[in-house]
Amino acid sequence: MKSVVILISGRGSNMRSLVEAALPGRIAAVVANRPDAQGLEYARGRGIATEVVDHKAFATRDAFDAALGAAIDRHSAQLVALAGFMRVLGAAFVRRYEGRLLNIHPSLLPAFPGLHTHERALAAGVKIHGATVHFVTPELDHGPIVVQAAVPVLAGDDAETLAARVLRQEHVIYPRAVRWFLEGRLAIENGVVRVAGGGAQLEFAAA
């Protein structure tokens, strides 16, 4: 059975969606870069091993990345899933876990990489917004796309209401992507992710 290590920084709602999805693998550990990350308490309550690698304790990004990698490797992870992990990882770290490092991002990449995606989507006047699960590469929020979910932007939306609509879909597509990985169904061909045996790589949400 393949093992998954989940990285969080805060409440860990996407982490919860993975834990509760009855995936064909083992959640080996939840690792946070903040000792006050709320998701740690949930993981402990589910009997999942937890670790804290506090980024503030390290003078350089490389030193933090090395300690984070050591924590991951202690749990023999075949997959590392970023679930609201709010630290930019260095290129060497990303290469170390190439092809087995997934992230979920609250926009329809390549649109709106980085932070404040919902505010930026509203400011741009887009009519469709959403979320993306992708493989992580050294370029921020630009890795091969596994699956996306699209949601309508409604009249009267603010960043909070739009974020809530997107988050509901994040909880649908992230377990789907991780399941595909654990089942050995994902392949990257010329920078494009294919799912063996088929599978919906785009989810449309009703208003």
The yes-or-no verdict on residue 207 having pLDDT over 80 is: no
Q: What is the pLDDT of residues 84-94, one digit of tens each?
A: 999 999 999 99
pLDDT of residue 175: 98
Q: Is it true that the peptide bond before 138 is cis, omega within 30 degrees of 0?
A: no
pTM of the model: 0.97
In the set 75, 105, 129, 171, the catalytic residue is: 105
Q: Does domain 104-207 have CATH number 3.40.50.880?
A: no
Contact between 29 and 185 (Cβ < 8 Å): no
Structural domain spans, the chain: 1-97, 104-207
Using the predicted structure, report yes or no on whether residue 198 has a pLDDT greater than 90. Answer: no
* pLDDT reading at 2 higher than 90: yes
Query: What does CATH list as the number for 1-97?
Result: 3.40.50.170
Please name which of 119, 28, 35, 40 lies closest in space to residue 81, comparing C-alpha atoms.
28
Same fold, 1-97 and 104-207: yes
129 is a catalytic site residue: no
Distance in angstroms between the alpha carbons of the first and the last residue of the chain:
38
In this predicted structure, what is the pLDDT of residue 206? Answer: 78
pLDDT digits (tens, 9 = 90+) for 108-152: 999 999 999 999 999 999 999 999 999 999 999 999 999 999 999
